[in-house]
Structure 1
Amino acid sequence: MTAPLDVKVEEKLYQNRYQVDASRVHIKVMPHDVPSPALRALLTACPARCYQLNDRGQVEITADGCVECGTCRVIAEPSGAIEWSYPRGGYGVLFKFG
């Protein structure tokens, strides 16, 4: 039996596990009133959809599903819009299929 070719990214991401480190968040969005272009780009660029607008129109992150792809580091970290660090050992994403 062959695997279906139309498997959605969300279905693959669901197979991963994430160990949350509640005492040390590894990605922080810097305080802002109006999102910068870099922050707005993360709303669509993040493959795990970790970035969303809150009810005040500010970008927030829920890093619990972060796949550590580095997209936000390339787009927003150089501008100072986010602070990023590696999760501590034992925390973060655990890929089921490699």
Structure 2
Amino acid sequence: MSRYTPGSVPDRLAHNMYEVDEGNPHIEVHQDIARATGTGRLLVKVCPAHVYSEEPDGTISVEYAACLECGTCLAVAAPGALTWHYPASAMGIVFREG
């Protein structure tokens, strides 16, 4: 009997495919609220896909095309700091692991 040994997280994520809905982001950071509540830096720290990054001027950039749609950002964001919804039908991540 052989045992399955999973690869590293980045190796496993590399198998996923993304159908990007160009021009229709499903994530929006409300910069003023994010800055006032500290949500921006928290998003950068907790997102497993590293979708969020802090720019030199303190704004938070979003690379929504890489989103895993896991909802971690929703769990930590202060009320009103983030608008998030699932991408349009047949768009977003297509999990290929397993």
- TM-score bracket relative to the smaller structure: 0.7 to 0.9
Deviations 1:30-88 (A, max 9, x none): 13397232221111110000000112121111011101000011111x52111011100
**The residue matched to 2:45 in structure 1 has which SS?**
helix
Q: Which runs of 5+ in 1 are unaligned?
A: none
Judge conservation of contact 1:33–1:58 (CA < 8 Å) in 2.
no
User: What one-letter code is carried by the residue in structure 2 that aligns with 1:18?
Assistant: Y
Identity rate, percent: 32
- Residue 68 of structure 1 corresponds to 69
Please, what TM-score do these two structures have when normalized by structure 2? 0.84
* Length, aligned pairs only: 96
User: What one-letter code is carried by the residue in structure 2 that aligns with 1:91?
Assistant: M
Pairs within 5 Å for 1:1-98? 2-4=3-5, 7-32=7-32, 35=35, 36-76=37-77, 78-97=78-97
Q: CA RMSD in A?
A: 2.0
Please, what TM-score do these two structures have when normalized by structure 1? 0.84
